[in-house]
C-alpha cells in the first residue's frame, strides 16, 4: 500500500536545514490536504516558506508536501518567543485561516525542543 502523490518541494533559501547545536525548537506541522484549490495553496505555501525565513530566530525549514495528500513541514526556531511572533504575523495568520477553512482535511501541529542531533556530514551544502 504505497500510493504515489506528486510532491512539490520548495528549494528556496529557506530549505537549508543546517541548524546550530541544540537546544533549539522545532515546529512539526503535518497535514492532509483537502485536494481543493491546489494551485493557490502551493503559491501560499511557497510564500510562507519565504516569509518564515525572514523572521527573527528562524533557523531553517524542511518541507515535503503533496498536491492531494499528506504533507510535512518542520521549521526550526531559536526560542518560543520567535515562534509566537511568527504565529502573530498577519500574512501567516491569514494563510492559516485559509488552510483551516479550505486546504486542510486535518492537521497536527507539534512544538518540540530539539536536544540531540546527528548528521551524515558536518555541513550540508544547499545550492
Which residues of this chain interact with its own copies, rule CB under 8 A?
1-12, 17, 19, 22, 26, 28, 30, 42, 46, 62-66, 69-72, 74, 100, 104, 106-121, 124
State how far the Cα of 33 lies from the Cα of 47, in Å rounded to an integer. 17
- Least separation in angstroms between residue 91's CB and its own copies is 19
* Comparison of 56 and 111: residue with beta carbon closer to its own copies: 111
- Least separation in angstroms between residue 37's CB and its own copies is 16
Do the beta carbons of residue 62 and residue 102 sit within 8 Å?
A: no
State how far the Cα of 16 lies from the Cα of 7, in Å rounded to an integer. 18
The C-alpha cell that represents 125 in the structure block: 551544502
- Least separation in angstroms between residue 24's CB and its own copies is 9
Do the beta carbons of residue 15 and residue 61 sit within 8 Å?
A: yes
Q: CB within 8 A of 93, min separation 6: which ones? A: 87
The C-alpha cell that represents 71 in the structure block: 504533507
- Least separation in angstroms between residue 33's CB and its own copies is 12
Amino acid at each position: 500500500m504505497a500510493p504515489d502523490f506528486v510532491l512539490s518541494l520548495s528549494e528556496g533559501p529557506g530549505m537549508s536545514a543546517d541548524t546550530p547545536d541544540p537546544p533549539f525548537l522545532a515546529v512539526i506541522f503535518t497535514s492532509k490536504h483537502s485536494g481543493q484549490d491546489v494551485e493557490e495553496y502551493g503559491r501560499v505555501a511557497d510564500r510562507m516558506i519565504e516569509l518564515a525565513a525572514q523572521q527573527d530566530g528562524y533557523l531553517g525549514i524542511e518541507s515535503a508536501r503533496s498536491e492531494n495528500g499528506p504533507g510535512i513541514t518542520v521549521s526550526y526556531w531559536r526560542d518560543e518567543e520567535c515562534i509566537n511572533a511568527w504565529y502573530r504575523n498577519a500574512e501567516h495568520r491569514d494563510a492559516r485561516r485559509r488552510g483551516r477553512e479550505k486546504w486542510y482535511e486535518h492537521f497536527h501541529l507539534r512544538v518540540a525542543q530539539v536536544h540531540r542531533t546527528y548528521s551524515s556530514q558536518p555541513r550540508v551544502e544547499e545550492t
